[in-house]
Chains A and B, each alone.
Chain A
Amino acid sequence: MNISEKLAPIRKGLLEFVILKIVAGDKVYVADMLKLLGPTEFATQEGTLYPLLSKLRREELVDYEWQESEAGPPRKYYKLTQKGRTQLSTLNDYWKDLNRTLAEFGN
């Protein structure tokens, strides 16, 4: 079992955190999120992303607005809500704590 496989559950758990980070910037379309994630360790697919985004929306952490596109039907552009922003900063703090803990254990 290689490292990537071993840490797969961690990446999976962190995906929500990463999505919140991406959405925190400008409004984004799913295809753009996938493009951003593609070259990283968090590369993912629509099949995973859409259910996750719907869940985040149901938890009122993100919201979307419709925007006309030059081709095809209007698209959903996602953005962070106020509640999402609070959640994101909590997650950021928690992540820093985790890193500190790891550092304290030394090499």
Chain B
Amino acid sequence: MQKVVSISLNGIAYQLEEPGYNQLRSYLERAESRLKDSPDRTEVMNDLEQAIGEKCARVLGPHKTVVNEAEVARIIEEMGPVESAEEKAAGAGAAPEGAPEQESAYVGPQPRKRLFNIREGAMWAGVCNGIAAYINVDVTWVRIAFALITIFSWGGMILVYIALAFIVPTAETAEDRAAAFGMPFNTEELIGRAKKNFEKFGSDYRWRREWRRQQRHWNRQWHQMSEQVRQATAQAAPQMGTTARAIMSIFLPIAAIVGAVLFVVWILAMLSLVTQHTVFGWGLPHGMPLWVGLLVLVLVYFAISAPLKAIRHGGREAAGSHPGWGALHGLMWMGFTVLFFWLAYTFFPGVRELVDQLMWAADLTVSNISETITFGSWD
């Protein structure tokens, strides 16, 4: 059983199987985009529709009322790719019967709008850029969302990013870039593309091996350092039972305050870097791309907060391991974070400006998304 779509071609109704309809729609959309600079666009489109209609009529009869997918594919092939006559006049030297890859692009359902990675102006693979185009919001917001989710998922989002970089196709032509979303791509296509991209990535074997080696090295160093700090703290505060507990009850709030201050300053620094391209008024060194600046901020934050965390854990061990300490610290940290955000907002005009700017843009983003949804839904 096939779903049938009724269409009107130049005033005459035809019934097409749904996959065929999708093919035809994308063919006509492509034709229209090819002709977008031609003054004859409307006329040529009408001519094409009529020609397609006549070809449809030819396969229909009193006992056949629906044009099937294969027939639509054949009709599209017969019609051939639409070339603007203006391009021809400019002397594009392509063979009329050539351009095989162009031809194949017409076959198979080509969604009108779909998700792409957009490399132009991208920080990494253009995933955020593509999503921004897809939901019609400024890329900054997608990046902030990605950054926040990355923080709260303890880096898990980075895996999602990498997966998207491989799975989502990269917009290579202007037409691709013009597209945003539409039908979901099918699973087979998705897996195939991910495999292909991964192979391409994996073929650079030396680079990969080198990267892995470097990563292992960093990991080892990092663990060694954390472990040393933790042990040192545990030893510095020898098993003193109640005394240690007393020290902890003073130390823990301090640790929470320091941690919260660090976190708030870090988040505000990231925000100001993303929105104003400066960290609290200090511009990035000349020639440093934004993403390097963000990366440096992330590294600096972890470089400062990790030893603190190690000290805290060491102290906790000395005071006798108790899960209550961790929960207590978490609560205090959260409370202080909220407090410091509020203080910063109230007493620093720069911060208020930043937040207001954020709110304003968030408003815009929400209205953009709802607009996209309203306009997208009747297609």
Q: Is the CB of B48 within 8 A of A45?
A: no
Main DSSP-derived SS at the A contact region? helix
CB < 8 Å A-B pair total: 93
Q: A65 to nearest B CB, angstroms?
A: 15
A12 interface residue per 8 A CB criterion: yes
Nearest CB in chain A to that of B31: its residue: A47
Chain A CB within 10 Å — which of B39, B53, B94, B95 has the most?
B95
| Interface 9-residue window, one of B82-90, B129-137, B326-334, B350-358 | B82-90
Indicate whether A58 sits within 8 Å of B80 (C-beta atoms), given known contacts A8-B95, A12-B96, A71-B57.
Answer: no
Q: Is the CB of A46 within 8 A of B88?
A: no
Q: Is the CB of B40 within 8 A of A54?
A: yes
Q: Is the CB of B95 within 8 A of A51?
A: no
B-contact bits for A30-61, CB 8 A (1 contact / 0 none): 11000000000001111110111111011000
Chain B CB within 10 Å — which of A11, A12, A71 has the most?
A12
B-contact bits for A46-86, CB 8 A (1 contact / 0 none): 11101111110110000000000001110110000000000
Q: Is the CB of A48 within 8 A of B57?
A: no
A9 interface residue per 8 A CB criterion: yes
A104 interface residue per 8 A CB criterion: no
Q: Is the CB of B88 within 8 A of A52?
A: yes
Q: Is the CB of A51 within 8 A of B84?
A: yes
CA distance A52 to B51 in the complex (A): 15
Q: A50 to nearest B CB, angstroms?
A: 4
Q: B11 to nearest A CB, angstroms?
A: 6
Q: Is the CB of A50 within 8 A of B98?
A: no
Q: Is the CB of B88 within 8 A of A12?
A: yes
Give chain B residues whose Cβ lies under 8 Å from the Cβ of A53.
47
A-contact bits for B61-82, CB 8 A (1 contact / 0 none): 0000000000000000011111
A5 interface residue per 8 A CB criterion: yes
B175 interface residue per 8 A CB criterion: no
Give chain B residues whose Cβ lies under 8 Å from the Cβ of A15.
88, 96
Q: Is the CB of B43 within 8 A of A54?
A: yes
Nearest CB in chain B to that of A50: its residue: B47
CA distance A72 to B53 in the complex (A): 9
Give chain A residues whose Cβ lies under 8 Å from the Cβ of B11.
73
Q: B25 to nearest A CB, angstroms?
A: 16
CA distance A68 to B31 in the complex (A): 27
CA distance A15 to B82 in the complex (A): 15
Give chain B residues whose Cβ lies under 8 Å from the Cβ of A52.
85, 88
Give chain A residues whose Cβ lies under 8 Å from the Cβ of B31.
47
Q: Is the CB of B83 within 8 A of A48?
A: yes
Contact of A51 among B40, B78, B94 (CB under 8 A): B40
B268 interface residue per 8 A CB criterion: no
17 interchain pairs (CB within 8 A)? Answer: A8-B96, A8-B97, A9-B93, A15-B88, A30-B47, A43-B97, A47-B48, A47-B82, A48-B83, A50-B44, A50-B48, A51-B35, A51-B38, A51-B44, A54-B44, A55-B89, A76-B47
Which residues of A are interface residues toward B (Cβ below 8 A)? 5, 8-9, 11-13, 15, 30-31, 43-48, 50-55, 57-58, 71-73, 75-76
